[in-house]
Structure 1
Amino acid sequence: MSQGQSDIPITEQCSVRWSHAEPAEDGYAGEQDGGCRLYPGHIPTSPLQKALLAAGSALVALYDPYRHDMVAVLGETTGCLVLPNLRDKMKNDPEGSRVLQERPRIRLSTLDVEGLRRLPDGTLGREYLRFLEDNKVSPDTRMPAKFVDDEELAYVIQRYREVHDLMHTMLGMPTNMLGEVVVKWFEAIQTGLPMCVLGAAFGPVRLNARKLQVLATELIPWAIRSGRNANCILNIYYEQRWEQTVASLREEMSIFPPPAVRV
């Protein structure tokens, strides 16, 4: 979880589409460069280059789990076998297919921050904004996809990144190491992304004995049961659910309420 702005600016709500025709920051647009660049920011890489990037990013991410740039690279370079399955889950679900077609983005520029702040306590929008402000994080810190060699799959992993903070909100987990590990266990079961599996497996090595006991006896079993039981997290159009309560959305998604333990 990267540190963001402590005072989130008020922005006007708008709709942003992921389009390969949109100019990239380096001046390239979708089909330029002989068709090698599939979307803005795409960096074509060979299998060998992906393997080297995966190995290097894994080492750095294991040493420093808060290096989210390396976590992002690891997710993209190791997720090629899993992302098509997630994409198909979205295509086969009515709400998920709308998300995949309309390509919404969760950014400060797409959030009506003052509108979310006026929502009642307990609603998804109000609790999500509270999470951002309490933890001094911003959705704009999520890295754009670069190494996924398919425009549609690049959006899928981008969407996963941008709903990560919503998973913290839904699961009631803070941004400390224990909370991150719990969310990673849930996401590993939900998505099968190797990056999530590695985070779930190796994240606990940084925890003390008391937290390890709580993790092993209470939180991991709950995260696994919830991950197996819940609907696909990418099949929710969260931007259209801000006024729904977190409790009712958990029930709809079949996520079990969090254990009553201090995280």
Structure 2
Amino acid sequence: MGTIIKRPEITGDIVHVANDTYGNILVIDDRKHRILSFDSVFEQSKMVRSAPHVPVHEYNRAMLLAIAYDEPARVTVLGLGGGVLAHGLHKLLPESRIQVFELRQKVADIAREWFSLPESERLTITVGDARLAIDSLPEGSTDMILTDLYSADRMSPAQAQRQFIQACSQALSDTGWLVLNYHRMPEPDGNLARELHRQFPLLLVFKSKTNNWVIYGRKQAFDPWSLEARRLKALEERLPIGWHKLTRKLNLLGRAENTD
């Protein structure tokens, strides 16, 4: 499931309604966009109908920034929503395999039918609880994990648990990346921040216009300021999301004292 973005009012026409044991799923169209909502107040996903592979929300675009440093061969996405992030990854990484875990079968069906998520051997969706799925991934089996676990009105508490961070770290390859989308910044001296610093030698953070906080950790140390303009230009040609402008909002996530 995708991040919640609250607007004063979601305008447009409801073009599809489904429901399951978790509640309603609405597809809403306006002249330019298609929106996935679980309650008609919060946006779970949003796409431009003429370019469904290009993420609209800044936090979604920011979640792709780790690819400026490394191009993963194996990507794991936790939480599908309308599939905009998965679609962008599929377009951006033509040689990579992308595995998505989504809790709700009907959300997966709607992403395919209404949000142009491509049918591809490189893009697979597994329906099930992502919190359990990450525990079962073999050690070192993926190069990048992007986690965006939200229900209709809140972030999944799993994303803020030390055990979840540990499981993600174990599933990552030696140079793997973890990218987390949080609805608020973790306390610098809290257990979550301490665990992130234990697992990752250097952390970056991005604050979006919607006050989402995207945190990036890599299993090996790296120079976060080493990106070249030509690299960002090449990425922009593959997926136009304003890579250079986004990277200017990256900051180091400071380490609290006595984290061990």
User: Under a length normalisation based on structure 2, what TM-score does the superposition of the two structures give?
Assistant: 0.29
Between structures 1 and 2, the one with greater helix share: 1
Between structures 1 and 2, the one with greater strand share: 2
Specify which structure has the bigger relative contact order, considering alpha-carbon pairs within 8 angstroms and separated by 6 or more residues: 1
